[in-house]
Amino acid sequence: MTNTTLEAKKLHKVLIIEDEGDMCLLLNIMLNGKDMELDHVKKLSAAEEYLQKEKPEVVILDNKLPDGFGIDFISHIKQNYPNIRIIMISGYDGSAKDVALENGADTFLEKPFTKNQLYEAIIALMPKEVA
């Protein structure tokens, strides 16, 4: 494989905002080998610092975090980084889904979800390549 081949393969950047180590590990395992560059932060404050420097295509956002609720962070992301797509993940009730979608989440996945559900949600939100 040449360097040209390596450079041609674009990795999609995904930020995971999740404070539970087991869940983050599971997300990494689920998405391993899927042409994605995965980054991970555990707090909303760290997510804001990251977003000021990096521009992921998709953010996977948990709701209950040490320094706030992901559901409240959605509108901040959409206001300041409108091109970023958001997948909200939560084990909470249906009202959380409604609020997340109203706040601007592109997709809501209720825990537990399957590897295929997660992958398909990400792919559906990725920008389409122009041929």
The answer to whether 88 and 61 have CB atoms below 8 angstroms apart is yes
Amino acid (one-letter) located at 63? N
Q: What is the pLDDT of residue 42?
A: 98
Q: Say how far apart CA 60 and CA 122 lie, in whole Å.
A: 9
DSSP code, position 106:
S
The answer to whether 60 and 14 have CB atoms below 8 angstroms apart is yes
66-117 confidence digits (pLDDT tens):
999 999 999 999 999 999 999 999 986 678 999 999 999 999 999 899 999 9
Strand-pair category, 68-69 with 64-65: antiparallel
Q: What is the pLDDT of residue 115?
A: 93
User: Looking at the whole model, is its pTM more than 0.75?
Assistant: yes
**pLDDT (average), residues 29-42:** 92
Residue recorded with tokens 């249906």? 94
- How large is the C-alpha radius of gyration of the chain? 15
Domain boundaries, the chain: 22-125
Of the pLDDT bands very low, low, confident and very high (cuts 50, 70, 90), residue 35 is confident
Q: Say how far apart CA 120 and CA 95 lie, in whole Å.
A: 23
- CATH fold for domain 22-125: Rossmann fold (3.40.50)
- Average pLDDT taken over every residue of the chain: 89
